[in-house]
Amino acid sequence: MPAVIEVRNLHKRYADKVAVEDVSLTVQEGEIFGILGPNGAGKTTSVECIAGLRTPDRGEIEVLGLDPRRDRAELTRGLGVQLQAGQLPEQLRVAEALELYSSFYPDPADWRELLEGLGLAEKAKTAYGKLSGGQKQRLSIALALVGSPRVAILDELTTGLDPQARRDTWELIENVRSRGVTIVLVTHFMEEAERLCDRLALIDGGRVVAVDTPAGLTERARIEQRIRFRPSRPLADHLLTSLPEVSGVTRRGETVIVTGNDNALNAVTTVLARNQIVAERLRIEQASLEEAFVQLTGSRLGSH
Amino acid sequence: MSVLNAVPATASVTARNGSATWRLIKAESKLSIRDKVGPLWGVGCPLIVLIILGVVPALREPVEAAGGLTYFDLYVPVLILFNLAILAMTALPTTLAGYRENGVLRRLQTTPIGPARVLTAQLVANFAIALVATILFLAVAGLGFGVDLPRHPVGFVLSWLLASAALLSIGLLITALAPGRGPATAIGTVLFFPMMFFAGLWVPIAQMPEVLQTISHYTPLGAGMQAFQETYLGHFPSAAPLLTLAAYAIGCTIVAVRWFRWE
């Protein structure tokens, strides 16, 4: 598939600090590409450079074959952007905003359909200033999509939405993608990245740490499995620690917690069976994307 | 693509941008009216003052050194300037600085239209409201209280256009330089009162001490008032006030465009 966004060695510093140290990434046509990282990692600055809102100090960017700074006017027709800080006049009503913005584009989407799809139909006559945070967010997504863009950049898509609205929005994004729109999703929300993104770039400290599928990232982090159970009879630690697949055994009350590689579970159950011990309340904890993130970047994401 | 094919495409782009600009102007006009600052302070307030002053008999006395115009006659152009000053120096900068502060301009930057066009739309919207208000004031003063229209209509229209241009460009300059919405409103309001003083809101210019009269002639509203007064007396306005207004319009526009902050 052809690349719709190419970023090479992007570097951007502000007066007091370097926001983006060295970011390179390629987004393929039709994919949902996630940019994941803690607050202040340089995600927003990177996408603002991609959208042509900021001039990079160094590096090359190409979006839909265009230079975001030089070919701004042309780029805006094919690129929809939803920014964290980007509002509307307080008194402008929802339907008015969508109708107005759709008139800016050569081949706009049906804004009434977007209104429905984002659950804003009842709010069509409500002024922007009277909307809740979540409703503003949904309108902002609608405005990013109203020009029927080939590429949409969505920054912190579901921040401020309640769980139901969040799931509805995810569904909408999947629908938009199924129509062939390439989506760049900036997020610090793991569940969102895992659910929506085909590929992810982990960004930390202004650098790309890794680019892979969500599953690939988890695998790459080589996080050990954790097996928890309560043995039906007392169990000597050495039975488990002597297994090559097991790297550690700890106890919390009556519960035994075993850490080890992918084959640890097999090894542990075999030993238990041989000793006629039943593993009660057996639980296996899989590595999550979040743990992979911590492992790969050495830092934690902000609370969410 | 051949040249023949390219022509209609370009034409349709122009037509579309035209319609987008027109929609933006309509939206901004609607917003200006909903915002209430312009309609209430810029139109309602001077209109009520006009009506109240119209029923005070003492104001029908001719003003000394005003060529036979009465106090009330002079208040009609003063209140027209009042309207222009509120719209251009308070409503316009408050709205536009608010747009910058709240990211409205930034969002427009991501669309094919760009943020400059919303400035144009705001200017046109306030200009249109001012035009309607001026016609309304002239009609109320004429039909309600028998004040004749300016006896040099062409001169009056020219003066009005120059005064609008001067004040709107001052409003743009305030927008360009004020760090935020709050300061923009404050600067506009603080400038409003001395400028209205020099237009003769409280004391007719003709009755001011000479020093103040001289200062008045170099303020935008004082110059505007001087030009208006001459057209009421049947003359084409003299060069000094017209050039003063034009200088404000050009000077402030240049500075505003040069130093306009989009974020």
Mean pLDDT computed over B85-93: 95
Instruction: Choose from B16, B107, B118 for mutation: most chain A CBs within 10 A.
Output: B107
Q: Helix B3-35 crosses helix B116-139 at what angle (to 10 degrees)?
A: 50
Closest in A77, A86, A96 to B107, CB measured: A86
C-beta of residue A227 within 8 angstroms of C-beta of residue A261? no
The pLDDT assigned to A86 comes to 66
d(CA B189, CA B44): 17
The pLDDT assigned to B18 comes to 66
Placement of tokens 């104001």 in the chain = B59
Please calculate the CA angle B24-A156-A138 and round it to the nearest 5 degrees: 50
User: In chain B, pLDDT over 90 holds for what percent of residues?
Assistant: 76
b/e string for A217-235 if b means 16 or more Cβ within 10 A? bbeebebbbbbbbebeeeb
Placement of tokens 């300037």 in the chain = B81
Closest in A79, A83, A99 to B107, CB measured: A83
Least confident among A60-69, B15-24, B51-60: B15-24
CA distances from residue B253 to A101, A271, B166, B193 in whole angstroms, order as listed = 28, 85, 9, 22
Q: What is the dihedral of CA A154, A160, A164, A170, to 10 degrees?
A: 10
d(CA A184, CA A210): 16
CA distances from residue A51 to A23, A239, B106 in whole angstroms, order as listed = 15, 58, 12
The pLDDT assigned to B175 comes to 95
Block mean pLDDT (10 aa), chain A, length 304 = 88 88 92 89 90 92 93 92 84 95 92 88 94 87 92 87 84 88 90 90 89 84 80 86 86 87 85 88 78 72 46
The pLDDT assigned to B4 comes to 39
Chain B residues near residue A147 by CB distance under 8 angstroms: 111-112
**Domain boundary assignment for chain B:** 22-259
Q: Which of residues 30-69 of A touch B (CB under 8 A)?
A: 51, 53
C-beta of residue B69 within 8 angstroms of C-beta of residue B190? no
The pLDDT assigned to A283 comes to 87
Is residue B14 very low, low, confident or very high in pLDDT (cuts 50, 70, 90)? low
Chain B residues near residue A83 by CB distance under 8 angstroms: 103, 106-107, 110
Dihedrals phi, psi of A153, to nearest 5 degrees: -105, 120
CA distances from residue A101 to A115, B46, B102, B160 in whole angstroms, order as listed = 13, 36, 17, 34
Placement of tokens 């620690």 in the chain = A241
Per-residue pLDDT of B153-169, as tens digits, reads: 999 999 999 999 999 99
Closest in A53, A89, A100 to B109, CB measured: A53
Using DSSP's 3-state secondary structure scheme, residue A256 falls into strand
Contact call for A99 and B23, based on CB within 8 A: yes
The pLDDT assigned to B2 comes to 37
Per-residue pLDDT of B239-260, as tens digits, reads: 999 999 999 999 999 999 998 8
Contact call for A91 and B31, based on CB within 8 A: yes
> Which stretch of DSSP H or E encloses residue A43?
helix A43-50
The pLDDT assigned to B13 comes to 53
User: In chain B, pLDDT over 70 holds for what percent of residues?
Assistant: 93
